[in-house]
Amino acid sequence: MNLNKTGQTILGLGLAVSILSGCAQKETIGHGILNKEDMNLTVKPGVDFFEYANGTWMKNTPIPADKSRYGAFDILGESANEAVHTLLEDAAKTENAPEGSNLKKIQDFYATAMDTAKINKVGLKPLLPEFDKIAAVKNATDLRNELIHLHKMGVSALFGAGVDQDMKNTTVNRMYLSEDGLSLSDRDYYTTDNETSANIRTEFVKYMTKMFEMIGDDAALAKKNAETIMRFETRMAEKFNTRLENRNYPAMYNPKSVSTLMSEYPNFDWATYFKDMGADIKEYVITTHPRYMKELNQMLKDEKMEDIKLYLKWKVLNGSASKVSTELEKVQFAFYGTTLTGATEQQPRWRRMSNATGSVLGEAVGQLYVEKYFPPEAKVRMDELVNNLKIALRGRIEKLEWMSDETRKEALAKLDAFGVKIGYPEKWEDYSNLEVSTDSYIQNAWRAARFEVAKNIAKLGEPIDTKKWGMTPQTVNAYYHPLLNEVVFPAAILQPPFFYMNGDDAVNYGAIGVVIGHEMTHGFDDSGRRFDKEGNMKDWWTLEDTEKFNVRAQKLVDQFNGFKAFDDLSVNGKLTLGENIADYGGLTVALEAYKMTLKDKQPADIDGFNNMQRFFLSYSKVWRGNVRDKYLRKLIQEDVHSPGRYRVNGGLFNIPEFYTAFEINENDPLYRTEEQRAKIW
């Protein structure tokens, strides 16, 4: 999944035991977790459950100036960030850390990142040799060599190349070739003819103009350069995939030998590129965006070399600005932070650099985080919850009336093969090949990028490392990995409002239980269902079952298409379908698991709510938050997740127990008839 983010880019549990264990209930457990003071009791649950559950909290919790949104995720993220900051400050006080140790690397990286006086003193000097190298490019051979150099240092330009598991044979790693290199986060900003996108394009040109002026170009040249890059990137963007196209994995699997690449896209020396990147291509490369690669081949033929070089210079400047000058960083934030998301202030530097250090040395910091902040009993409780959710999901799959026995058999085999990771890795990342010095922040950032690129390329020909994690322990999120068929829950998410060590079962199943069920359901959503128990992209569904699934999923598409955030912008039910299926599945499976723990007993009310009401209120609490209009527009355009308000109200459309718990009737806006409700998992 990735509960809370857009993006492109393992242990095995056997058959679950037949006895479902329930978490021990005590009379005092759960009090104070759900507060009526946070709710808007003037709104009926059936009119707007999100507002009913969270309205007063939202009214009393304004968005800080340095945030584009503020809610449960963000507050917990701040807490994790503060914990990391404490660890970094403690590390900085440690004397005589051994050279080459993780602790010494943490100390030096964080120190150079925080030293703004030195950053500004060094200034643009590290960029000048890079600009000179680009300026020296004269022909296709020079351009290839420069791209190799830039890609090794993590600069996103013209195309992307990286190693991951082969989608159709997950026992081996392959090189993937993809579209990459836009400065704006979505191709539609370049191509869509509406007021919002047009304004962003205008502001983007102004931003680039200002940046070029700040590195020495006169006003006229700076504006000309900005307009050239805008034209160049627009041409790229026109052949990029749409967000919906990027969810069609079969269409993105196009294996080609290097000789075929050289034949189909002859204006770039792919053989030498891969060789000099250190990639020994044995059989084939998987191209994910052939339409763009065809256009790139044409661009390399008919674009002026000076324009390509200008684009590369811009990519270096834009990617490095925040690390070489606080003044450049302010200008960059004014565009990416304020213009695009509505935030009016930058976060304090210690927050930003704590995040940066926790990213570059993620598991080194994560190891410290786990030692100080993650109680072992949390993992034990999570193991129990996950096991219960697996049993519940198995039971639901076994009873699905619309699924054939043939497909059901494969679905159950996939569920039984699910891997589960909780808290932190069994094996920590080895940073011995990462060099960190005290010379400058930008050099450390480049070294870190080279380390990551080299580590990625080195996976070619190596066995799949199933113990690797895709998130650090200090990350507030969770995910399902289709190629490894595993669900992963980092330590930082195992805190309120997701997980309460002393919470009642209703609250925990409504929060972290739904998260667990959400991630499991991703294995069976409109994308995840294309992958088998071993993570291979394979059609294991009968044609009839696929058609039935699509008819049922279309009801979710229609429901979420009906959410209008602005007069001119609605939620995209197709783009968000996978996440909406996962939310629906998470709710149904968590609710099933919770009801099984009750064993026909009725828990006492807590703080004025019965257990079923607490389940749904806890779910809503997870997604409460305020969001700026600019950022909400950005989310709806780019994110595969529906905004929080619609995740709550839309997720509950299809849950019969919600109707009963809050006496929802046909006169309520949230009411859906039996025929209108989706019934999938």
pLDDT, tens digit, for every residue of 313-356?
999 999 999 999 999 999 999 999 999 999 999 999 999 999 99
Domain shared by 393 and 250, yes or no: no
Residue 479 CA to residue 481 CA, distance in Å, equals: 6
Angstrom CA distances, 317 to 155, 323, 452, stand at: 10, 10, 20
Domain shared by 541 and 671, yes or no: yes
- The pLDDT score that the predictor gives to residue 8 is 31
Q: Can you give the length of the chain in residues? A: 681
- The pLDDT score that the predictor gives to residue 600 is 83
Q: What's the predicted TM-score (pTM) here? A: 0.93
Q: Judge whether 565 lies within some domain.
A: yes
Domain shared by 299 and 198, yes or no: yes
Domain shared by 395 and 482, yes or no: yes
In one-letter notation, the amino acid at residue 549 is F
Residue 537, token pair as written in the block: 């992209």
Q: Judge whether 56 lies within some domain.
A: no
SS3 assignment, position 256: strand
Q: Judge whether 150 lies within some domain.
A: no
Residue 512 CA to residue 497 CA, distance in Å, equals: 8
DSSP code string of 443-494: HHHHHHHHHHHHHHHTTTTSPP-TT--SS-TT-S--EEETTTTEEEEEGGGS
Domain shared by 312 and 382, yes or no: no
Q: Judge whether 59 lies within some domain.
A: no
Residue 513: DSSP 8-state = I
Domain shared by 160 and 281, yes or no: yes
Domain shared by 168 and 247, yes or no: yes
CB 214 within 8 A of CB 328: yes
Supply the range of the domain harboring residue 540.
375-425+469-676
Of 289, 323, 357, the position where a domain reaches its end is 323
- How many CB atoms within 10 Å of residue 195? 9
Residue 513, token pair as written in the block: 């239980």
Domain shared by 396 and 536, yes or no: yes
Please, which residues have CB within 8 angstroms of residue 387's CB and are 6 or more apart in sequence?
13, 16, 17, 21
Please, which residues have CB within 8 angstroms of residue 190's CB and are 6 or more apart in sequence?
182, 184, 197, 201, 233, 234, 237, 238
Residue 256 CA to residue 105 CA, distance in Å, equals: 40
Residues of the chain with pLDDT under 50: 1, 5-28
Domain shared by 238 and 317, yes or no: yes
Peptide bond into 497 cis (omega under 30): yes
Of 294, 323, 352, the position where a domain reaches its end is 323
Residue 614 CA to residue 611 CA, distance in Å, equals: 5
Residue 519 CA to residue 488 CA, distance in Å, equals: 8
Return left, alpha or beta for 551; rule: phi > 0 is left, psi -120 to 50 is alpha, else beta: alpha
pLDDT digits (tens, 9 = 90+) for 467-517: 999 999 999 999 999 999 999 999 999 999 999 998 999 999 999 999 999
Q: Judge whether 451 lies within some domain.
A: no
CB 640 within 8 A of CB 186: no
- The pLDDT score that the predictor gives to residue 31 is 83
In one-letter notation, the amino acid at residue 563 is F
Domain shared by 271 and 399, yes or no: no
Domain shared by 314 and 388, yes or no: no
Angstrom CA distances, 238 to 187, 234, 247, 305, 637, stand at: 7, 6, 18, 20, 16
Q: Judge whether 103 lies within some domain.
A: no
Q: Judge whether 348 lies within some domain.
A: no
**Residue recorded with tokens 């950022």:** 631
Of 282, 301, 323, the position where a domain reaches its end is 323
Residue 245: DSSP 8-state = G
CB 7 within 8 A of CB 374: no
SS3 assignment, position 231: helix
CATH of the domain at 312: 1.10.1380.10
**Residue recorded with tokens 């060099």:** 435
- The pLDDT score that the predictor gives to residue 361 is 98
Q: Would strands 169-179 and 285-287 be described as parallel, antiparallel, or unpaired?
A: parallel
Domain count, the chain: 2
Q: Judge whether 231 lies within some domain.
A: yes
CB 250 within 8 A of CB 288: no
Domain shared by 502 and 642, yes or no: yes
Residue 38: DSSP 8-state = G
Question: Would you give the distance in Å from CA 444 to the centre of its chain?
Answer: 25
CATH of the domain at 487: 3.40.390.10
- The pLDDT score that the predictor gives to residue 540 is 96
